[in-house]
Amino acid sequence: MISLKNITKMFGSFTAVNDLSFTVESGEVLGFLGPNGAGKSTTMKMITGFLTPSDGQITVGSHDITEEPVQAKSIIGYLPEGAPAYGDMTPEEFLIFIAKVRGLTGSKVKERIDAVIKQTHIQDVLFKPIDTLSKGYKRRVGLAQAIIHDPKILILDEPTDGLDPNQKYEVRKLIKAMAEDKTIIVSTHILEEVSAVCSRAIVIDKGSIVAYGKPHELEERSQYYGAVTISFSEDGDFSDVITSLEQVEGATSVKFDEITERFTTFPTDKKNGTDLFNKVSALVESKGWDVKEIHLERGRFDDFFRSVTAGDLESKTEEQCGDKPSVPAKQDEGAQQ
């Protein structure tokens, strides 16, 4: 179990993490999301005892991380951001070193090292200095190091960053398989990863939680949830499509995506998506449209993510646009004087 109570982290006068509280139970995989600089890594560094919170309390297992740091650290496996490792060592030497510090002895060392080598697929690079490994392999060595002592608690900061698609798939499978008897926190920028591996997700922005829930619940909060999307087999005259769709009962608006060439009809009531779907299907039939695809949207995580975190991004660009003209104006004044 991991529990954070009112955690705040200040760097000088800058608040990187602001009054964060949440609990993760054993068996859960918590997805940690947020834009760059949101405070994800900072929070993970506090949970693993690298940074000390400016305020609040963190409990890992049954240990307070500031009061019993060594006991707490011994049950944690941690993959820090960027997967740092001693570059002059080979993965084999590195894993032996970590295994010893983690208290493994005798035949257990080899046993566990063999197991994690298989789990993270690093057989091929075992005897090359870590400095010479590709980014993806480095990350996998970092992951191997984090799970070598079969920890109760696992904190992974962007574990799939830099991995090829096959390895991403493998690592997700691994995380899911380990979840059963562990408490896991994973940060990521890959939103489909959240639905794939996480039982719960937290979105943070500027150090505060802006959304919390099961992945499908968060998806349902996107405006696309319950919307109906259609696309046509051939190019043609779609001039009346939008107006026709808009007139369907229970529709509020219609959006045409120029890249995917799809029409999405949004419902007045998100929960009545099936209703809208039936009505749009009926319309398609009555109009005799040659439709390639028609589907009911289950909600889009990326859309939801943007809606809760991009607010400040838009207002910032507006501000900057507003500011720009005044700069040359001032310079002109200066020149005239």
Partner 1 sequence: MNMTSIIFSREFKSYFTTPVAYVFIIIFLVLAGVFTFYLGNFYEIEEASLKAFFEYIPWLFLFLIPAITMRLWSEERKTGTIELLLTLPISMWQAVLGKFLAAWAFTTIAIMLTFPIWVIVNILGSPDNGVIICGYFGTILMAGGLLAVGSCISAATKNQVIAFIIALAINFILLLAGFSIVLDAFSGWAPEMLVDAVSSLSFLTHFDSMAKGVIDLRDIIYFVSMIIVWLYATAIIIDSKKAS
Ligand X SMILES: Nc1ncnc2c1ncn2[C@@H]1O[C@H](COP(=O)(O)OP(=O)(O)OP(=O)(O)O)[C@@H](O)[C@H]1O
Residues contributing to the site for Mg ion (CB under 5 A): 40-41, 81
Per DSSP, the residues of 172-185 read HHHHHHHHTTSEEE
Q: Is 141 in the site for ligand X (CB under 6 A)?
A: no
Contact 144, 164 (CB under 8 A): no
Contact 249, 280 (CB under 8 A): no
| Cα gap 178→75, rounded to integer Å | 15
Q: Is 38 in the site for ligand X (CB under 6 A)?
A: yes
Q: Is 54 in the site for partner 1 (CB under 8 A)?
A: no
Interaction partner, residue 36 (ligand X, partner 1, Mg ion, none; CB < 5-8 Å by kind): ligand X
101/313 with CB nearer Mg ion: 313
40/63 with CB nearer ligand X: 40
Which among 295, 172, 173, 161 has a CA at the least distance from the CA of 226?
295
Please state the closest distance from residue 144 (CB atom) to partner 1, in A.
13
Query: Which span sits near partner 1 by CB under 8 A: 17-25, 97-105, 262-270, 306-314?
Result: 97-105
Which among 224, 219, 268 has a CA at the least distance from the CA of 279?
268
Please state the closest distance from residue 224 (CB atom) to partner 1, in A.
39
Residue corresponding to tokens 């139970």: 25
Q: Is 203 in the site for partner 1 (CB under 8 A)?
A: no
| Cα gap 46→24, rounded to integer Å | 15
142/250 with CB nearer ligand X: 142
Kindly identify the residues of this chain, within the stretch 228-287, that bind ligand X according to CB under 6 A: none
Kindly identify the residues of this chain, within the stretch 2-21, that bind ligand X according to CB under 6 A: 11, 14, 16
Termini Cα distance of the chain:
68
| Cα gap 96→123, rounded to integer Å | 15
Q: Is 78 in the site for partner 1 (CB under 8 A)?
A: yes
Q: Is 37 in the site for partner 1 (CB under 8 A)?
A: no
Interaction partner, residue 37 (ligand X, partner 1, Mg ion, none; CB < 5-8 Å by kind): ligand X
How far are the Cα atoms of 52, 58, 59, 65, 224 from residue 55, in angstroms, in the given order?
9, 10, 13, 13, 39
Please state the closest distance from residue 138 (CB atom) to partner 1, in A.
12
Q: Is 153 in the site for partner 1 (CB under 8 A)?
A: no
The binder of ligand X chosen from 4, 20, 31, 42 (CB under 6 A): 42
Which among 136, 120, 122 has a CA at the least distance from the CA of 90?
122
Interior angle at CA 166, CA 162 and CA 171, nearest 5: 70
Q: Which residues bind partner 1 (CB under 8 A)?
A: 11, 45, 48-51, 69-71, 73-74, 76, 78, 80, 82, 84-89, 97-98, 100-103, 105, 145
